[in-house]
Structure 1
Amino acid sequence: MKKGYKVTDVKRVKKIGVAAENLEELIEKSCTKLGFNVSCAECRLYVAEDGTHVDDDDYLKTLPPQTLFILLKEKEKMVTDFDYYYTMIRNSKKDYIDTGLAAKDFLSTNFKEKFRVFQKYIAAANDAKTMLSERTQDPGWFEGLERSEKTKEQSMSKRVKERMRGYYYKTKTALQSSDLYVHSKNGRGKKLVDQFLLDLRKLLELNRYNEGYFNRRDKDKRMCNENGLFECGGLWNNNKCIYDGEHVINPYRSREERIIFQTWNLDHKIELSRSVVPKILEAIEGLAQGKVQCIFCEKISSEGFVEADRYYLQIFTSENLKLVHIVCHYKGKHDVQSDVYTLCKKCLGGQTVEHN
């Protein structure tokens, strides 16, 4: 079944509507409608908001109708919505920004105290709009977003789901490009990887992609307060942010803050690429070789299962994810590790893992 999407070029000059059933059809039609005088094979498709490369039909199917894509020619570089709109804001409000730079000297002394005072005035000035929710009430906040996004909470929930999908496809790409998957004997390794990915995806869907993390109405899961204010959690190995009161943001307040919020990261304390994915591969390889050590009874058996729930917690939930300001996003190696989580048949179902 065909779905309708929106596609533009890197300069956002022309936005077109395209109905397509698969990735190949979407690129081919977009290339023609945008007037690209190049082969479709030289074009690449990206999600406009976060720059995720759409390279297979599976990922495309997870994206909702009317998702906006950027179609690039071979030598063009991707510019995310954040970079594009940030540049636009900077150019259109140059005088405002220059005034801010001129005030730098004033703020250079006793900065923290002055910053807190300014924060109070800014918050008070915007409180009225901050608590508005509907598109009809605060249309400026929704500028650049899809028409299907009717409330701020719905829009912020969508941002979480997009990040979660990104983590899933990053995991999927790493597993399916591994030697275990590509060169598996009798295809057993490939089948085990595919089954694990299916289990992982089912857990994501069951938990609605943890969409409540950015939704201020979700009292159980939200990472913000009831007004939508988010605070930085600090470096991965700290209990709180060292920039006391400075690394805060309320993307519900204004369009500009919503855009800037895209630079805030959900940081994996146990790193996805360096630790979680290698341990998943190690667990699956043990199953493929018939050497399974159960994490509960600690016995070694020839058959068993990967406990997908444990890896789900580490990849997608607040058990291992910390919301941080870009300054507090440490990209060096984290000194904590994942583990091999496999179960024997006897222990399967005897233990439960709570999903945050």
Structure 2
Amino acid sequence: MGAKPFKVASLEDDRRYGLAARSLEELVRKGCRKWQLPQKGCRVCLFEDGTEIDADYFYTLNDHCEVIILKEGQQWNGGLHYCINKVLNTFYANSEELTQIASQMLSDEKSFKKRVLLQNLIQKSNENISAENREDDLKWFEGLDLRFKTKSDYMRFSCGKRMRNYLTEVKNHGKILEGKMGSFDSISCGYDHSINPYSNKENRIIFSTWNLDHRIEKKRTIIPDIVKAVLNQNIDNDKVEKFYKHLFTVENLKLVHVVCHKKCKHNLSF
């Protein structure tokens, strides 16, 4: 059998070299000589997906197959993993330049999925998650009252406002049992919703559109039960705590993206 040509890479540099070998042992020997690697413990994997090549598999490979030689202890998860990791490293080192390139690509891209990936990349480049104080991220605080000095101050106020709105509903609705409710019937969302309101102004605003969804319904179940308990003068500390938990805590609340807010009856009870 004649020598089989390969395109061989190594973690020692980014270049690939053409090497020919009649056996896996010969390929390892030549690769180790090329990159000055100790031959003991070295192995060869497919560059594409990281599949390890043994002596038998070697003879099934096509000519000019792309492989990578690894010394003992090194790992390879495939070319795509490598490329993404390289882009991420470049992103943090040259985020402004990478954002400009992504913006140029976005203007010409027609594929919806690719546009979403590019838009997310551009958006992430504007994040300033670690900044907490107003002076460290002035853009995040645009449009907000000057009394908010930190991001946590505003998020605490925003959360408290939502809770006060629930309390107002309890006071005002009484026996009015109608109302729309939202998503409640799954542990996790089938869509890839991800947001950090601390990252930038846009995410802060978008986050305000997310809904706090009561699994056991507020208007159809919790409020009627409160009204019934009050009318029957059947209130004690345990019931007060139970109502509080189901109205205001994560025991019964889920944060739900607005597009996943299902408008249907839950049919759940205490």
2:209 corresponds to which of 252, 260, 263: 263
Equivalent residue of 1:136, what SS?
helix
Equivalent residue of 2:134, what SS?
coil
Q: 5+ residue gaps in structure 2?
A: 1-104, 177-181
Q: Distance between the aligned counterparts of 2:115 and 2:145, measured in 1?
A: 38
Change (3 A) 1:239 1:117: farther
Instruction: Tell me which amino acid in the other structure corresponds to 2:111.
Output: F
1:241 corresponds to which of 180, 189, 197: 189
Equivalent residue of 2:132, what SS?
coil
Structure 2 residue 139 is matched with structure 1 residue 140: yes
Q: Distance between the aligned counterparts of 1:310 and 1:174, measured in 2?
A: 19
Other-structure match for 1:61: none
Q: Is the 8 A contact 2:216 2:252 kept in 1?
A: yes
Q: Looking at CA atoms only, which structure, 1 or 2, has the larger radius of gyration?
A: 2
Q: Is the 8 A contact 2:106 2:119 kept in 1?
A: no
Deviations 1:124-164 (A, max 9, x none): x234x221111011111111111110001111111000000
Change (3 A) 1:271 1:101: farther
Deviations 1:75-120 (A, max 9, x none): xxxxxxxxxxxxxxxxxxxxxxxx97985x411xxx3x87457535
Instruction: Tell me which amino acid in the other structure corresponds to 2:236.
Output: F
Displacement of 1:337 in angstroms is 1.7
The aligned runs of 1:272-287 (5 Å cut-off) are 272-287=218-233
Structure 2 residue 54 is matched with structure 1 residue 106: no
Change (3 A) 1:314 1:102: farther
Other-structure match for 1:314: 246
Q: Is the 8 A contact 1:269 1:336 kept in 2?
A: yes
Q: Distance between the aligned counterparts of 1:100 and 1:172, measured in 2?
A: 50
Q: Distance between the aligned counterparts of 2:196 and 2:106, measured in 1?
A: 20
Q: 5+ residue gaps in structure 1?
A: 1-98, 179-233, 293-303, 339-356
Q: Is the 8 A contact 1:269 1:321 kept in 2?
A: yes
Other-structure match for 2:151: 152
Instruction: Tell me which amino acid in the other structure corresponds to 1:106.
Output: S
Q: Is the 8 A contact 1:235 1:241 kept in 2?
A: no
Q: Distance between the aligned counterparts of 2:106 and 2:219, measured in 1?
A: 39
Change (3 A) 1:273 1:256: same
Q: Distance between the aligned counterparts of 2:161 and 2:133, measured in 1?
A: 21
Change (3 A) 1:169 1:117: same
Q: Is the 8 A contact 1:314 1:320 kept in 2?
A: yes
Other-structure match for 2:126: 126
Change (3 A) 1:143 1:118: closer
Other-structure match for 1:65: none
Change (3 A) 1:102 1:238: farther
Superposed structure 1 runs of 4+ greater than 6 Å apart: 99-102
Equivalent residue of 1:323, what SS?
strand
> Structure 1 residues 114-123 or 135-144, which shifts more?
114-123
Equivalent residue of 1:312, what SS?
helix
Q: Is the 8 A contact 1:135 1:142 kept in 2?
A: yes
Equivalent residue of 1:140, what SS?
coil
Q: Distance between the aligned counterparts of 1:318 and 1:237, measured in 2?
A: 15
Instruction: Tell me which amino acid in the other structure corresponds to 2:268.
Output: V
Q: Distance between the aligned counterparts of 2:198 and 2:159, measured in 1?
A: 14
Aligned residues: 161
Displacement of 1:252 in angstroms is 1.2
